[in-house]
Structures are given as structure tokens and as C-alpha cells.
Structure 1
């Protein structure tokens, strides 16, 4: 039996985290979502001994304690975390944020949609892409 596809959502706003989880459940109920409230909490979770690696990290940029840019730079500097794809999901459409995210090896950048329907469509597309279309390294192969 294979394990469920797992997403680590790094988002400081409880309402945004809840909306993400609710809408993702509508389009892909079998995806498991873990939540961290900021970049430091996410790094701590990922580096905990015996921690199961998520298949995808969905990252907000504007957070207290450690923002998304700093998380991305630090996570991609750790060999054990480098292969985990990170998709930025932010309200920012600023070119500097987009360039900075890709320079730090983000796998994608999506601007948070403005409506419920658009958000549902985005999450459906995101899950189909990351879970079905692309080939990700198997987590057991990353330990080598």
C-alpha cells in the first residue's frame, strides 16, 4: 500500500490555511496536508528526527518569525530537503518576489486567486500537475 501524497502548507494566516485545506479536499480528498505557521516552524518540522518528507511544500512569502524567502533559501541549502519541490502561493505579484523565489529554486510561483471558484480551479490544476503530470523523486530514493 502506498502512502498518501502529502503537502506541507507553510502559511501564517489561519483563515487562509483553512481555506486552502477545505478547497484542496474538494478537488483531491486523498491528499494529506500538514501545516506550519511560519518558515522556522516548517524547517523544525522537516528536520525533526524521523520526520516524513512531504511530496510538495506550498509556501506563503509574508510571514512572521521566518518569511518564505528565508525559508526557501535555508531549505534548499540542506541536502536532505533540496529535492522537495516548493511552490510559492502568495498574494504578491511583484516581479522582485517572483524572481527572488525562482532564484532560490522555487519549483513554481502562483498568485493567490481572488475568488472561491478561481482558487478551486488553481488547486485542482496544482494537484493534477504535482501529483500526476510531473515525475517527482521517490522519497525513499532521496535517503541515498
Structure 2
């Protein structure tokens, strides 16, 4: 797999995020990008599984998961994604405020491809997306430990 822009148009993104402000910033940033993107938003990990069960034709090209969500958190959802034969090779990005070593290690061990500390504003979101769109995903299955966690410097 190459980078997302070279491989898909539009790029189908599935975001699992319970915070409405974060959903808005994520969505608003995507609208400003020149890349063609279809965004689906769910409020928790269970929503990811529900979308996949209800629409067999929808297969996201990339999944963003918050760690701390109600019903099913991002780690529990990640475990289910990696067990799913259709989704197991889909890039999964952890996008969270948590920088707890336990969360970083656990998501790495369960097959997340990248772990981003949540950007604060529009500019950092754009930098994050630019980084994601240039990644060669073949290098992130599995990711190298030293390139897995990315804090607020997205360049």
C-alpha cells in the first residue's frame, strides 16, 4: 500500500470521537483540504462496529479512534477491528489527548498504526493530515516503535 492520496479518491475516513467540538474541528479541517475525502463520524467504538454491520459496502480507508469514549473505548474497538477480516489491514490512527505510556503501549500492542496527541487547532490538524497523507502505509504494518507516537509536533 502506498500513501492514501496516491491510492484512493475520495479517501474514506471513519472517525470515532465522542467530543462534539473535536468532531467539528476534524470535520471543518477536512473541508478546507484540497484532498477529496468522505467522512463518517460515530460517537464511540461501538458505532464503528455498528456502521460496519449495517453497511457492508462501506469500507473505510483509514480509521481514527479516540481512546476515551463511552460504550466501547478506542482500545476495545481496535481489538475488534484487528479481529475483523475486512478491516484488519485498515490503517488505524489513535487520536487522543492521552499521552499515558500505558495507552500508547496498549494501542501499539493491539495493532494501531500511529498514535497522535490530539491537535489543538486548525493549523495543527492540517499539519497532522499532511503527515498522514504522505505516509507510506506499508511501513506502518507494523509500525516502528520510534515512529509510532507523535506528539504535538506534526512536521
TM range (shorter): 0.7 to 0.9
Cross-structure match for 2:109: 103
Q: Is the 8 A contact 2:62 2:93 kept in 1?
A: yes
RMSD: 1.9
User: Is 2:40 the counterpart of 1:40?
Assistant: no
**Shift in Å, 1:113:** 2.0
* Structure 2: gaps (5+ residues): 1-7, 139-155
The ranges of structure 1 where at least 4 consecutive aligned residues each deviate by more than 6 angstroms after the TM superposition are none
> What number of residue pairs does the alignment pair up?
132
User: Is 2:90 the counterpart of 1:84?
Assistant: yes
**Shift in Å, 1:118:** 1.9
Partner-residue secondary structure (3-state), 2:86: helix
Change in 2 beyond 3 A, CA 1:74/1:68: same
* Structure 1: gaps (5+ residues): 136-144
Q: Is the 8 A contact 1:58 1:86 kept in 2?
A: yes
Q: Is the 8 A contact 2:45 2:74 kept in 1?
A: yes
TM-score, structure 1 normalization: 0.83
Q: Is the 8 A contact 2:25 2:122 kept in 1?
A: no
**Shift in Å, 1:67:** 0.4
TM-score, structure 2 normalization: 0.77
**Counterpart pick for 1:113 among 94, 111, 119:** 119
Show CA shifts across 1:51-82 (max 9, x none). Answer: 31000001111100100010001111122221
